[in-house]
Amino acid sequence: MFLDIITPEATLFSGEVNSVAVPSIDGAFQMLNNHATIVSLLTKGKVKIESDSFEINDDSLFEKQNNIYSLNIVSGTVEMQNNKITIITDL
């Protein structure tokens, strides 16, 4: 599945991923390939991304542990539709 992470300043990541976990206002949840269509508001926390080939534009914003990358966010939105996830966020 494909993930875009966008801030008002720049696109932080755009590429293929295995899974994405987000801190939603209704509780954290994870999205895998072929997840149902969803739109949700995000709250302060960590976006966790699992990817085999993770190429980021600014590696100072991401933490890495094994093949899991984390990004701290303040708020935002997430949409998943047709195996494409778009996260629009403030850091």
Q: CB of 2 within 8 A of CB of 20?
A: no
- pLDDT (mean) for 41-49: 97
- pLDDT (mean) for 8-37: 94
> pLDDT at position 70, please?
95
Indicate the number of domains in the chain.
1
Q: How confident is the model at residue 40 (pLDDT cuts 50, 70, 90)?
A: very high
Residue 24 gets which letter from DSSP? Answer: B
Note down the domain range covering 45: 2-90
CATH of the domain at 44: 2.60.15.10
pLDDT in tens, 48-74: 999 887 777 666 889 988 889 999 999
Q: Rounded mean pLDDT of the chain?
A: 92
Q: CB of 54 within 8 A of CB of 43?
A: no
Residue written as tokens 């991304």? 49
